Amino acid sequence: MGDLEKICEDLPGRKPHRDFRLWLTSYPSAAFPVAVLQNGVKMTNEPPMGLKANLIGSFSTFPLSDKAWFEGNTQPKIFRKLLFSLCFYHAFIQERKLFGPLGWNIQYQFSENDLRISAM
């Protein structure tokens, strides 16, 4: 595992071919180098199942559910796109937490309060 970590650390300095990809598969393990996980992109085969429910839940919370607040913006088209993106990000974060160590290298909690503050 130490050799793998050294190889991965040296890759940027070696300037690999632009089409080079290193695919690793692993079960959660204390022996797996944390630096390799933190510098990589995690992928999973299981699609998130609760995105729609999370999005509906986000739009039903205050202030998003307040019609006057929702429609009171001076640039409604841009505002709605940004708000949807924020809610989608929140729903995605909430869904990925269900996967435990397969969902995130380092857990991050983007709670309902974070969503509300960001939207306001």
Q: Coil, strand or helix: which one is 97? A: helix
Rounded-to-integer distance, Cα 102 and Cα 99, Å:
5
Same-domain status, 108 and 55: yes
Same-domain status, 79 and 65: yes
User: Residue 111 maps to which CATH number?
Assistant: 1.10.8.720
Same-domain status, 92 and 34: no
Rounded-to-integer distance, Cα 76 and Cα 82, Å:
10
Same-domain status, 9 and 62: no
Same-domain status, 108 and 53: yes
Same-domain status, 66 and 104: yes
10-14, 23-27, 86-90, 110-114 — which is least confidently predicted? Answer: 23-27
Question: Which amino acid is residue 82, in one-letter code?
Answer: L
Same-domain status, 100 and 119: yes
Give the chain's mean pLDDT.
Answer: 82
Residue 45: per-residue pLDDT: 60
47-51, 95-99, 107-111 — which is least confidently predicted? Answer: 47-51
> Using one digit for the tens of pLDDT, what is the confidence trace for 69-104?
988 889 999 999 999 999 999 998 888 777 766 666
Residue 104: per-residue pLDDT: 65
> Contact at 8 Å (CB) between 48 and 92?
yes
Same-domain status, 36 and 52: no
pTM given for the model: 0.57
Same-domain status, 64 and 113: yes
Task: State which residues form the domain around 109.
Answer: 46-120
pLDDT (mean) for 55-63: 88
Same-domain status, 54 and 102: yes
> Contact at 8 Å (CB) between 58 and 91?
yes
